[in-house]
Amino acid sequence: MSIIQSIRDKGAWVLGGALALALIAFILQDGLGKKGSIFGAGTTVGKVNGKSIEKKDFDKKLENASQGNPQQRENLIGQLWNQEVSQILLNEEFDRAGIACTDKQLNEELFKPTSQLMNEFKDQKTGFIDFEKAKQAWAQFKKTAKEEQKKGVYEGIILPTILQTKYGKYNAIISQAAYAPKWLVEKQQAESNKFSTVSYVAVPYGTIADSTVKVSDDEIVAYGQKHSKQYEKDEETRAFQYVSFDATPSAADSAAVKQTLELKKNDFAKEANMETFFAKNTSEMAYYAGHIAGKEIKQQVKDTLVKLPVGGVFGPYLDGNNFVLAKMVSIKSIPDSAKVRHILIKTMDRDQRSGQSYRMRDDSAAIHILDTVRMALAAGKNFDSLCLKYSEDDGSKMKGGVYDYFSSGRMVASFNDFAFTKTVGSKDVVKTEFGYHYIEVLGQKGSSPAYEIAYLAKQITLSNETDIATKNAAAKFLASVKDKKSFDDEVAKLKKTSAPADGIKKIDFNIPGLGSNRTLVRWIYEKGVGDITDQTYSFNSRYVVGIITAVNKVGVPSAQTLRPQVENLVKNEKKAKQIIAKMKGTTLEAMATAAGNGTAVQKLDTLLASNTFNPMLGNDYKFAGAAFNTSNKGKVTEPIAGQNGVFALRVDNIGVRPSETPIDPNNIKNMLNNNIKNAGSRITSELLKKIADIKDNRGDLY
C-alpha cells in the first residue's frame, strides 16, 4: 500500500513509529524528570520551558494514533506526551549547538532503503524498492495532497526524520569527545591481573534472626533522610491499600457448562461429518481433520481416548478451564515421521502491522501458477530453482521447499494427512488455509497407530449471577468499613489479605497489582489519607475496595512507602552494631573467639581484583576495598560493617599474577571509550531533564 493511500485511509496524522520512538530513548532513558507543580485544568496539556503543548493538537494526534486499537489509548497518552516533550528539548539543544538538517540531507534520509518512507514502497515479497516510482509518487503527493494530509506526513515522517538526522550529528559530537587516557588504560590492564592474599573473620547478618530486630517508623524515615539522594522523589505519589473480591466461576457455573455438553453429546455422536458439525457449533479446541500418532496427543486422558472405537464419544471431562467431549473419528496406521518438499502459492496472507489475514489472490490464479510449476517440473526443470522462484513459504523456500523428518500433528491438517497417508514418491496439489501446495513425499520412517479425534470444548465461564453475588459481597464489605482499623478488622474476619499499591502518580492510569482504572486514580488524588473508596471499583472480574494510606509529598517518602525498600538495610545496620560490640580483640583469632557461634579465621590465597567474591560474604564492595588497600598489609582492621555482614581482615600480600593470555591494550581502550560514550549520552540527557522546566497537566485533563 502506498504512503499516499495509507494517509488517506488512516487520516491526517501518522504516528512516527520506530523513528519517533527511537528519539525518546535519548531524553527518556529513565523517565522524564519534572520541575514545577502541576497546574489547573485548561486547554494546555503541559509546558516545556514555556512552550505549550495544546490539548486540541494533542487529542487529534492521540485519536489518530489509537485508530484500530482504542484499548491502547491510555498507554499512548504517555508515549505521545514523551514524544512531544523530547522533540521540544531536542530541538532546543540542537539550536544551541548550531545543528541543522539541510534540505539535501533530508532528501537523502527520506530516500534511504531503510527509511520509513521507502518502506511504504517496498515489495513485501521480494523486498525490492522501486525508487523511481517512490520519487514520482512523492512528488505527486506534494502537489495534490490536502494541507491536512501534508501536515500529517510532516508530523509523522518528516519531523522524526529531521530529528533523527540532527541527533545523529549531536551524538557524533559527544562520541568524538570520548577519550580514555593512557594512564587509565594501563591502570585497567594492571588491575585485571591484580590479586590479594587475605586472612579474615566474617559474621554474616543472617546469623541474627530478622524477627529479633525491630525497626520503627522513625528509624525508617531517618535512614531515608540520611540517603535522601537515593530515595527522595521529585513529584508527589500516593499509597493505597485494597482488598479484592474476585469473581470466579462457581460450582453451579461449572455444572451448567457440563450440562450443555451432555445435551450435545447425542448429536455429536450421530454426526458423520465433523466439519458440518463444527460449522454449527463453536469449540474452544479447533477441529483438526488429520491423524496424529498416539504419542503426539497431549490430552491428559489420552490413555482413555485411544481405546475408543471409531464413532465412540468420551466425556464431558475436565481439561483445564474447559469441559470437553471427545469423539474418535478415524484410526489408521501411519509413519512415525515424514519428509516432504513443497511449493506454496498463497491465496491468503497476513498484514505484518495489524496481524489481520487478507486475500492476496483468488483460487484460480493460485492454481494457474501451480500448473505452470507442474509443467516446468514435467519438462525437467530443477525443483529447487522453481521453489526459489515461485514458493511463498519463507520457512522452506531457501532449502528447496524441504521439511525434514517431522512428526504428525505439526502441520495443518490436509498437509499433514498427505505427508503421512500417501506413499513415498506421491506428488499432488493440496489446499490449506494458506493457499495451494504442490507436495512431494520424500521419505517416511516407522509406523504406529494414529487417531483423528474431534474435541467439542466449552469454557467454564462466569455467570451473571456469580458476578453479581461477588459485586454484592464487595459492596457489603464497603458498607461495613469506616476507617483503617475497621478496614483491617473486616479483612481479617473474611480471612482475606489486603495488598498495597504504592507510588501512584497523579498522571497514572494503572494501579500497581490491579491494572488500568483512571477513575480510581483520580479519586485517590481528590481524597486524603484514611479515606475509604466511595464505591467498589471494577477490574475485569475483580471488585476492589480500598483506603488511602499515604500521601508522599516531594522529597523523602513516608515510612510506609520506604519500609519495603529499606527495612532490611536498617535491620542490617542494627545487626552490625550488635556484632561489632561482640567482636573485641586485636587479633583475628581473638575476634573470632569473641564473636562465638563457631566463627573461625578464614584465608583467601588469591582474591582477584576482577572477581572479588568470597565464600562468607559474597560480592561485598567494602570487603574488596579493604582487601586491596595497601595500608592494611600486615595489619588487622577494626570490624567493618559490610553489605552482607561484619568483617575484619589482614592483608598478607598484594601482587600481580602472570597473565596466561595477555590483554590487548587496544581492546581495553576501546571498551573504556565505549563506556565513556554511553555515560556521556546518559549524563547529557539527565542534565537536559534537570535544567528543563516541565509542567505536566495530564493528571487534570485525562
* Segment (H or E) for 608: strand 602-608
For residue 328, CA distances in Å to 293, 314, 408, 413 come to 13, 9, 17, 16
pLDDT of residue 42: 67
Per-residue pLDDT of 574-622, as tens digits, reads 999 999 999 999 999 999 999 998 999 999 998 988 889 999 999 999 9
pLDDT of residue 541: 85
Per-residue pLDDT of 519-573, as tens digits, reads 999 999 999 999 999 999 999 889 999 999 999 999 998 888 899 999 999 999 9
**Closest to 472 in 3D by CA, of 543, 531, 541:** 543
pLDDT of residue 684: 67
Confidence of residue 127 (pLDDT cuts 50, 70, 90): low
Distance CA 701, CA 593 (A): 67
Contacts of residue 20, defined as CB under 8 A and 6 or more positions apart, other chains included, come to 83, 156, 160, 163
Contact 2, 145 (CB under 8 A): no
User: DSSP characters for 341-408?
Assistant: EEEEEESEEE-TTT--EEE-S-HHHHHHHHHHHHHHHHTT--HHHHHHHH---TTTGGGTTEEEEE-T
How large is the average pLDDT for residues 278-292?
Answer: 94
Percent of the chain with pLDDT over 70: 90
How large is the average pLDDT for residues 225-253?
Answer: 93
In a domain, 361, yes or no: yes
Distance CA 174, CA 63 (A): 37
Q: Across 237-296, where does the E strand assignment appear?
A: 237-246, 292-293
**Closest to 171 in 3D by CA, of 25, 282, 50, 272:** 25
In a domain, 500, yes or no: yes
Q: Across 446-523, where does the E strand assignment appear?
A: 448-459, 499-505, 510-511, 515-516
Q: What are phi and psi of 442, to 5 degrees?
A: -95, -30
- Examine the domain organization and report whether 488 and 473 are in the same domain: yes
Contacts of residue 572, defined as CB under 8 A and 6 or more positions apart, other chains included, come to 205, 641
Task: Choose between 348 and 71: higher pLDDT.
Answer: 348
Per-residue pLDDT of 378-398, as tens digits, reads 999 999 999 999 999 988 999
Q: Which residue's C-alpha cell is 522452506?
A: 396
pLDDT of residue 23: 34
Last residue of a domain, one of 414, 445, 476: 445
- Examine the domain organization and report whether 260 and 300 are in the same domain: yes
Distance CA 64, CA 14 (A): 7
Confidence of residue 661 (pLDDT cuts 50, 70, 90): low
Distance CA 280, CA 283 (A): 10
Q: Across 18-61, where does the E strand assignment appear?
A: 44-48, 51-54
In a domain, 475, yes or no: yes
- Examine the domain organization and report whether 366 and 281 are in the same domain: no
pLDDT over 70 at 59, yes or no: yes
- Examine the domain organization and report whether 598 and 582 are in the same domain: yes
How large is the average pLDDT for residues 212-225?
Answer: 95
How large is the average pLDDT for residues 87-106?
Answer: 89
Letter for the amino acid at 81?
Answer: W
- Examine the domain organization and report whether 54 and 152 are in the same domain: yes
Confidence of residue 349 (pLDDT cuts 50, 70, 90): confident
Per-residue pLDDT of 433-463, as tens digits, reads 999 999 999 999 999 999 999 999 999 999 9
Mean pLDDT over all residues of the chain? Answer: 87
In a domain, 458, yes or no: no
- Examine the domain organization and report whether 544 and 567 are in the same domain: no
pLDDT over 90 at 20, yes or no: no
- Examine the domain organization and report whether 11 and 75 are in the same domain: yes
Out of 67-76, 405-414, 435-444, pick the least confident. 67-76
Q: What is the CATH number of the domain that holds 502?
A: 3.10.50
pLDDT of residue 235: 87
pLDDT over 90 at 60, yes or no: no
Task: Choose between 85 and 635: higher pLDDT.
Answer: 635
Letter for the amino acid at 38?
Answer: I
User: DSSP characters for 105-119?
Assistant: HHHHHHTSTTSHHHH
pTM for the full predicted model? 0.63
Last residue of a domain, one of 310, 332, 354: 332
- Examine the domain organization and report whether 543 and 602 are in the same domain: no
How large is the average pLDDT for residues 399-424?
Answer: 94
- Examine the domain organization and report whether 429 and 510 are in the same domain: no
Burial class (CB in 10 A: 0-12, 13-18, 19+), 74: middle
Task: Choose between 264 and 666: higher pLDDT.
Answer: 264
Distance CA 419, CA 439 (A): 8
**Closest to 417 in 3D by CA, of 298, 357, 347, 329:** 329
Contacts of residue 644, defined as CB under 8 A and 6 or more positions apart, other chains included, come to 204, 205, 617, 618, 620
Task: Choose between 111 and 514: higher pLDDT.
Answer: 514
How large is the average pLDDT for residues 388-417?
Answer: 93
pLDDT over 60 at 5, yes or no: no
Instruction: Give the domain range for residue 582.
Output: 194-229+563-656
pLDDT over 50 at 2, yes or no: no
Domain count, the chain: 5
User: DSSP characters for 184-195?
Assistant: HHHHHHHHHTEE
In a domain, 453, yes or no: no
pLDDT over 50 at 3, yes or no: no
In a domain, 457, yes or no: no
Q: Give the CA dihedral 184, 186, 189, 191, nearest 10 degrees.
A: -70
How large is the average pLDDT for residues 28-50?
Answer: 57
Distance CA 377, CA 383 (A): 7
CA atoms within 13 A on the CB side of 276: 6
pLDDT over 90 at 255, yes or no: yes
- Examine the domain organization and report whether 214 and 319 are in the same domain: no
Out of 147-156, 198-207, 507-516, 555-564, pick the least confident. 147-156
How large is the average pLDDT for residues 5-34?
Answer: 34
Q: What is the CA radius of gyration of the chain?
A: 35
**Closest to 140 in 3D by CA, of 121, 125, 123, 159:** 121
pLDDT of residue 24: 33
**Closest to 335 in 3D by CA, of 415, 416, 400:** 416
What number of helices (H) and strands (E) belong to the chain? 26, 23
pLDDT over 70 at 289, yes or no: yes
What is the side-by-side order of every strand in the sheet holding 44-48? 51-54, 44-48, 694-696
Task: Choose between 43 and 449: higher pLDDT.
Answer: 449
- Examine the domain organization and report whether 401 and 425 are in the same domain: yes
- Examine the domain organization and report whether 599 and 510 are in the same domain: no
In a domain, 673, yes or no: no
Last residue of a domain, one of 445, 475, 508: 445
In a domain, 459, yes or no: no
Per-residue pLDDT of 629-659, as tens digits, reads 999 999 999 999 999 999 999 999 999 877 6
pLDDT of residue 18: 34
Out of 19-23, 142-146, 403-407, pick the least confident. 19-23
